[in-house]
Amino acid sequence: MDHEDRIALFLDYENLALGVRDHRGGMAFDFRPVADALAERGRVVVRRAYADWSYFDEDRRMLTRSHVELIEIPQRMGASRKNAADIKMAVDAVELAFEREYISTFVICTGDSDFTPLVHKLRELNKRVIGVGVEKSTSALLPPACDEFLFYDRLEGVEIPETRARRGRPARLPSPEPQAVEREPEPQAVEEEAPRDVDTLAVLVAQTVAGLQASSSGAVTASTLKRTLLRKDPTFSESDYGFRTFGELLRHLAGQDVVELAEGPAKGDPEVSLPEHGDREVAFGLLRTVVQELAGSDGTVALSGLKNQLRRARPDFSEKKLGYRSFLQFCKAAATSGVVDLRWSPEADDYLLTVPGA
């Protein structure tokens, strides 16, 4: 327990509850999915929710049963009531950050961009900040400011199929025909996007591992990789790609030869690296073969358009899956390995590739 994160939870309850009601088909906010998600991240020692509770009788009972301290912000003058709740919550969070050094993580449940300065201040005080908000009502400014951001809609225990059905009803009322039109594309879109999403994920992981290997002399562990992915995109979650755990995701990518896994310094935290041979050598061989086939009378091939030629020969080719940020970087690596020669030509205003000895 000494190594557990101590978490302080602050809920801008009106923002959260109205966001769920307005964008999840009128459903009521349920605190349990949030509590379960935080239980996986550490020990919650402070739970506070801010609102004018005369508007949330049922919610008040639900939160009290979950041991959430209710901070009353009575309604007085229109917008000043909302400002009062925001100010009180921000002051309490900063005060707690100074008074309780053992609290390492602050969870700010809101989609309001007005809390972005609070997030910056907490991180400046060396606190980890997790945001929680409803996807459709969360400002685009807030998630990038956090160390991690959880969309309430995606949390385990939130009934997404029911909310989709409710949300679709108003659009389907005018005539019966749109019903069939709206029902059919939704599952099709999911089926079409899934492979592209996983492919994009493979590129992101490969590039991140390559960057970590270049910037540090030590091994890249799975936990380090996960933290880095969250720094790049605080909304990242392996569950969005259909994986139950980050380890399961890595094993899938290892099976696709995107990464290699080896025993790490701690159990359950393997080392992650890019394949030194295998696909990279195959890709280098493909490049050499295509350059040989396309070489003109002078034995050269221009870099422009060459990537498309490689994809015609091998449709699944992607230099980014191998950890290279660009096709030029991939060709430079091939040149360093002696597979091809690469030089800049002012006359052609392009890089030219040749096969050594050809």
The CATH number assigned to the domain holding 322 equals 3.30.420.610
- Could you give the number of structural domains in the chain? 3
Whether 177 is covered by a domain: the verdict is no
* Statement to judge: residues 243 and 350 lie in one domain: no
CATH code, domain with 27? 3.40.50.1010
Boundaries of domain holding 300: 277-354
Indicate the pTM of the whole model: 0.61
* Statement to judge: residues 23 and 124 lie in one domain: yes
Query: What tokens appear for 317 in the block?
Result: 């080719």
* Statement to judge: residues 203 and 264 lie in one domain: yes
* Statement to judge: residues 118 and 36 lie in one domain: yes
Query: What tokens appear for 86 in the block?
Result: 């925001």
User: Which contiguous run of DSSP H or E holds residue 212?
Assistant: helix 185-215
Whether 173 is covered by a domain: the verdict is no
CATH code, domain with 218? 3.30.420
Whether 184 is covered by a domain: the verdict is no
Strands (E), the chain: 6-12, 43-51, 69-72, 105-109, 128-133, 148-151, 260-266, 269-273, 301-302, 341-345, 350-354
* Statement to judge: residues 251 and 348 lie in one domain: no
Backbone phi and psi for residue 46, each to the nearest 5 degrees, phi listed first: -135, 130
pLDDT tens string, the chain, 358 residues long: the values are: 456 789 999 999 988 988 888 877 778 888 988 988 888 788 899 999 999 888 888 888 899 998 999 998 876 555 555 577 789 999 999 999 999 999 999 999 999 999 999 999 999 999 999 999 998 889 999 999 999 999 998 887 786 544 343 443 334 434 444 444 444 444 443 333 343 477 778 878 887 887 777 766 677 899 989 988 888 888 888 888 888 889 999 998 888 878 889 888 888 889 998 876 557 788 888 999 999 888 878 889 999 889 998 988 888 788 877 777 678 888 988 888 888 999 898 888 889 999 987 6
Residue 10's alpha-carbon distances to 47, 138, 255, 312, in angstroms, are 6, 16, 41, 54
* Statement to judge: residues 325 and 266 lie in one domain: no
Pairing assessment for the beta strands 301-302 and 350-354 based on DSSP bridges: antiparallel
* Statement to judge: residues 95 and 234 lie in one domain: no
* Statement to judge: residues 234 and 255 lie in one domain: yes
